């Protein structure tokens, strides 16, 4: 059996099974695909694929279905993914461009991926560990109350209020705002203590307490908010058709999706892949609850060639891999453009 023909037969089985949800037999392959060989040859090829562990027979007298190994070979040998139409690209751009802040961007992105794929969408927030400060704003909201607003280079906004034991001086606030931004803008969390440590020395002794308090709240806020976060949408999509894509129940899948530590581990591992789009298929997820799912992710944002975070889609093994990969990459590109802007 030639390698190319075996791949053609496997590709046809995957495509038919994804489209029909039914095990695929040799007769169906002959009728639906121009493989250029006899039915007997196709049966021999299917027997060899089964022996190699790429397809399996769910029960006697049934056709064949792809295994984890078969899906992996199919994905690894993909030469093209489904092109996205101009109308689809414009719709994605219009939907995401109307976002008002980072939270809105993430919310829109996760809902969009779920809609495009018909599966569970996952969007990871850019971590403040990898974000830098873009601007610090100080706003007096009363005689003795100061609002500290932190804006990161990913568009994330954090706010804290400080109460002082004496009235705020607008001239001092203006000087502090200017010096704070000069010292902290562009700095990452790990660089802030050194950058802010000398600020109190630039002010009068009676104002040093305020300066130290503001510097401390900047550091503490970013440290507190540096925990990784993911947002999900579309979990109900897994229940379509009564969860027929899962052998027993979708319960273990839903429980796994609720464990953010599981998703963050997978996202972290997949971030180390060299491929533009990373996949974990079935047992490759190394989690009992996700054995009947596949996870497709790619990075977004840019930090000197490294992605700031990842977006992805989780669905049954019987997913439209080319279509899912296209949707995830398209949304990631728009997220990168928005954050860069």
Residues 168-194 pLDDT 10s: 999 999 999 999 999 888 877 677 788
> Of 151, 155, 160, 137, nearest to 101 (Cα)?
155
- How far apart (Å, rounded) are the C-alpha atoms in residues 96 and 106? 9
Hunting for tokens 């695929």 — which residue is that? 24
Strands (E), 169-243: 230-233
Q: At what angle do helices 86-97 and 102-117 cross, to 10 degrees?
A: 150
The number of angstroms, rounded, from the C-alpha of 210 to the middle of its chain's C-alpha atoms is 40
What is the DSSP pairing of strand 55-56 with strand 65-66?
A: antiparallel
- How far apart (Å, rounded) are the C-alpha atoms in residues 194 and 254? 44
Extract the residue ranges of the chain whose pLDDT is less than 50: 1
Query: Assign residue 185 a region: left if phi > 0, alpha if psi is -120 to 50, beta otherwise?
Result: beta
pLDDT at 1: 47
Residues 236-286 pLDDT 10s: 898 876 667 787 668 888 888 888 889 989 998 998 888 889 999 999 999
pLDDT at 224: 57
- How far apart (Å, rounded) are the C-alpha atoms in residues 295 and 324? 10
In a 13 Å sphere around the CA of 54, the CA atoms on its Cβ side amount to 21
> Of 63, 196, 74, nearest to 133 (Cα)?
196
Residues 6+ away with beta carbon under 8 Å from 163: 144, 145, 146
* Three-class DSSP category at 306: strand
Q: Which residues of 42-68 are buried (b: 16+ CB within 10 A; e: fewer)?
A: bbebbeebeeeebbbeeeeeebbbbbb
Complete domains list, the chain, with CATH? 3-76 (1.10.10.10), 86-126+228-340 (3.30.450.40), 133-224 (3.30.390.60)
- How far apart (Å, rounded) are the C-alpha atoms in residues 235 and 230? 14
pLDDT at 127: 67
Cα-Cα-Cα-Cα dihedral sign, residues 215, 220, 225, 227 = positive
pLDDT at 9: 92
């Amino acid at each position: 059996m030639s390698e190319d023909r075996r791949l053609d037969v496997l590709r046809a089985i995957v495509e038919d099974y994804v489209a029909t949800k039914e095990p695929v037999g040799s007769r169906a392959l002959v009728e639906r695909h121009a493989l250029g060989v006899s039915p007997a040859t196709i049966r021999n090829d299917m027997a060899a694929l089964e022996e190699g562990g790429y397809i399996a027979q769910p029960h006697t007298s049934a056709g064949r279905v792809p295994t984890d190994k078969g899906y992996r070979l199919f994905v690894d040998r993909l030469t093209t993914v489904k092109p996205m139409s101009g109308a689809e690209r414009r719709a994605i751009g219009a939907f995401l461009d109307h976002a008002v802040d980072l939270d809105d961007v993430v919310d829109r992105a996760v809902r969009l991926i779920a809609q495009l794929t018909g599966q569970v969408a996952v969007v990871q927030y850019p971590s403040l560990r990898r974000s830098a400060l873009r601007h610090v704003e100080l706003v007096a909201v009363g005689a003795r109350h100061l609002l500290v607003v932190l804006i990161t280079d990913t568009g994330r906004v954090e706010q804290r209020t400080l109460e002082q034991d004496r009235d705020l001086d607008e001239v001092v606030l203006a000087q502090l705002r200017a010096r704070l931004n000069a010292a902290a803008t562009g700095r990452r969390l790990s660089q802030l203590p050194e950058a802010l440590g000398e600020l109190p020395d630039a002010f009068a002794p009676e104002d040093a307490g305020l300066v130290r308090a503001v510097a401390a709240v900047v550091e503490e806020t970013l440290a507190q908010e540096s925990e990784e976060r993911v947002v999900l949408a579309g979990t109900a999509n897994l229940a379509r058709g009564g969860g027929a894509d899962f052998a027993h129940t979708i319960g273990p899948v839903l429980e796994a999706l609720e464990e953010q530590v599981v998703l963050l581990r997978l996202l972290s591992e997949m971030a180390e892949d060299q491929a533009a789009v990373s996949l974990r298929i079935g047992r490759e997820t190394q989690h009992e609850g996700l054995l009947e799912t596949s996870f497709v992710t790619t990075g977004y944002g840019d930090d000197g060639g490294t992605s700031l975070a990842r977006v992805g889609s989780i669905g049954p093994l019987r997913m439209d891999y080319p279509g899912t990969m296209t949707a995830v990459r398209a949304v990631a590109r728009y997220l990168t453009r928005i954050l860069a802007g």
